[in-house]
Structure 1
Amino acid sequence: MKSVIPTVDLGAYLTASPLRRQTVAAELDRALRETGMFLLSGHGVPRRVGDEFRARAREFFALPREVKQPYAIEAPYDSGWLEMHPGGGVGVTRAEGEPPPPTAPDLHESFYAGPAHRTGHAALDRYCYPANRWPEELPALRRAVDAYTAHMVRIAGRINTLLAEVLGLPGDFFTRRATRATWTQNASWYPSLNTVGAVQGGQLRNGPHTDLGTFTVLSRQQGVGGLQAWNEADGWFAPPFDPDALVVNLGDLMERWTDGRWRALKHRVLAPSPDAPDEELLSLVFFYESDPATLIEPLTPPAGGGAGFAPVVSRHAILTKLGVTEDEMAALATPAAP
Structure 2
Amino acid sequence: MADREQDVLRAASMYYLQDMKMEAIAKHLRTSRSTVSRLVKKARETGLVEITLRPTQSRAPGLGAHISATYGIDAYVVPVPDSTQQVDRLDQVALTTARLLGSWFDSDMILGIAWGTTLAAISRHLSRKPTRGSAVVQLNGAANTRTSGVHYAGDLIAGFGEAFDAHVHHFPVPAFFDYAETKQAMWRERSVRRVLDVQRRADVALFSVGAVSGGVPSHVYSAGYLEPEDIAVLDAEGVVGDVCTVFLRADGTYRDIALNERATGPGPDELRRIPQRICAVAGDNKVAPLRAALRAGVVTHLVVDEITASHLIEQETGRIAVARTRHESMHSGA
TM-score normalised by length of structure 1: 0.24
More strand by proportion, 1 or 2?
1
TM-score normalised by length of structure 2: 0.24
More helix by proportion, 1 or 2?
2
